[in-house]
Amino acid sequence: MSGDHGVDDFLRDYAEALERGTAAAFVGAGLSMAAEMPSWSKLLEGMAREIGLDVAREEDLVSLAQFYVNRHAGSRAHLTRLVRRTFERSVTVPENQRILARLPLRNVWTTNYDEILERAWELTGKRTDVKSRNADLTSSDPEAETVLYKMHGTASQPDEIVLTKDDYELYSRTRQGFLQVLWSDLTTKTFLFLGLSFNDPNLGYLMSTLRSSFRDGPRQHYTVMKRPQGAYEAQRFEHFVTDLHRYGIRTLVVDDYNGITEILRRLERRFAQKNVFVSGSYPEDGDPAERAFVAAVARGVGRIVGRRGLRLLSGFGRVVGGAALSGMFEALEGHSGPAISRRIIVRPVRDVIPEGMSVEEYKRRSREDLISQAGIVIVVGGLRQGSIAPGVLQEFEIASAQGRVVLPVAATGHAARKVYEVMRARPETYLPREIDIATFERLGMETRSEDAVLAAVDRCVMRILA
């Protein structure tokens, strides 16, 4: 893996943009091919054959689509049926899209017709505000966490997609709003372009406009591209990468498409370093004294997260999750609404299970997605129906497999105590180098006072952040 600007620089810059809420993404067809979606040339292959052309010999695919419509006296009926049939099918969401959905991206752009991005956000428990027509730009969904701009339309509305030369030539009139909003985003946000060849006429128009508007200092953007095979292709690629500098785009070069996934994983880990997931549970009808102690500890953990400038992730359980959030709000008292919203990530488990997925599979997938967004997992309590909560133990298993730091507050008993015992028996496997065994043992059962427990948690957190 290599790049003209350096992966480390990208991870630092883009993670900071995610922190500030100024990061955006632009997704092209290349990212959908992992879900076995066709490339543009593959989509038009049958059309070309029908009108006596060979798609492999055509470079101007926009004109090819126009020729096909012309052959049918301007009718788009065949075209729309093909698009609907090709893209409106259930697919497994690739990991790249799932990682993007877990990041706090407020604005995402795509030229893709498929609905893989919508599905990725849905699986993560996030709501998207999809803009696929010019009229959609005049309204907004206040509950949505991400606005998804489908500037070429969507498969569920195939009669309005952008595909032919006519569509491109009239774009500035029929979809002028998309160009205006994209221009604004490109000037105010840091973009990550993925799966794009940069050959799209509309994107080229925007980039040239940016070039003329900000000749002395275009905003910094990034893209990840695979190095081509062949000496000539590689030489041309180097010139292309250099040319992207004119538009403020720095290229991270990978040797295969797995390199894109690895960069996104590293980005997610980088951003997750300041995220704390509070795992645990306690029944509302459980022992009142123990419930009060567990809730007090969880509340104190929330205050620690807030005071240390970290972000809190929660599945919003009634006792542990709710108490942790209350503590976080106490620590952030006086902060503005937007500042608070950037520090708290709540992912309640949805009642509706996605089609084709079992309840257990969905719960595990939800836990994996949530924990992947955290750098630290703090386990509090973990009692369900009179026994150790299996879901909390599963969260420990997932967190360990993902290499997250786990801090079990054994003093709160149940699953937290079980996790503590497992980790205490094998510190070389479970403890990070920042936490020695003596510090870890302060989380043990012998620490029963609330103040002592929270002091031990705070000490461990500070060791990790040091």
What are the contacts of 37-42 at 24+ separation with CB within 8 A? 37/86, 37/87, 37/91, 37/112, 37/114, 37/116, 38/86
450-465 vs 288-307: helix axis angle to the nearest 10? 30
Q: Is the pLDDT of residue 356 over 80?
A: no
Q: Is the pLDDT of residue 342 over 50?
A: yes
Q: Which residues are catalytic?
A: 152
Q: What is the pLDDT of residue 213?
A: 66
Q: Is the pLDDT of residue 302 over 50?
A: yes
Q: Is the pLDDT of residue 2 over 50?
A: no
- Average pLDDT, integer, range 152-173: 91
- Of residues 112, 115, 133, the one with CA closest to residue 26: 112
The residue ranking higher by pLDDT, 274 or 199, is: 274
Q: What is the pLDDT of residue 440?
A: 94
Read off the pLDDT of residues 194-216 as tens digits, 9 standing for 90 and up: 998 877 776 777 777 767 766 66
Q: What is the pLDDT of residue 217?
A: 67
Read off the pLDDT of residues 211-242 as tens digits, 9 standing for 90 and up: 776 666 678 999 999 998 889 999 999 999 99
Domains and CATH numbers, the chain: 2-37+91-269 (3.40.50.1220), 273-465 (3.40.50)
Residue 47 and residue 65 in contact, taking contact as beta carbons nearer than 8 Å: yes
Tokens at residue 344, please?
């708290």
